[in-house]
Amino acid sequence: MTKTDRCRDLEHIIKIQEKIITAQNKTIKYSDQQYWQLQLNALGLKKVYEEQQKELELAYKDRNEAIRNYNALHQLGKFAADLGVDLTAKLPENQKVKWKDHKFSVDTKVMESGRAQSVIKLTKQSSNGQDFKERKRKDKKKV
């Protein structure tokens, strides 16, 4: 082989290597883009996960509050049954007309000892829908 043939072969090898290097650079750029895309997706999924955890905590809080309120009503029913009061005929759903002007609420608080304290209120509302207590407060402010 002559020197010119060797030079041509070397130039041909260099051109092939340049093509390989450009192809590898494109692959690296593509892989880098894919990596950052996955990172952004992971951050988005983390935010979604944190939001769902907050929603789950609220759902458990609501569920526990409903259970506590039910337990308070159940204890009130047992107390009334022990006193000899028949509650089946006096349930509000059986006497809707009688109790339509009243507001019924159950508030349950968990004490530091872990016990639940329940406050059950039945307040009468005026004909226009305002509570009597609220109307009295407004009257006192006007004077």
> pTM to 2 decimals?
0.43
Phi and psi at 89, nearest 5°, equal -85, -20
Per-residue model confidence as pLDDT tens digits over 117-126: 888 787 887 7
Per-residue model confidence as pLDDT tens digits over 13-36: 999 999 999 999 999 999 988 888
What pLDDT, on a 0 to 100 scale, did the predictor assign at position 143?
Answer: 44
Contact 87, 77 (CB under 8 A): yes
Per-residue model confidence as pLDDT tens digits over 33-67: 888 888 877 777 778 888 899 999 999 999 998 89
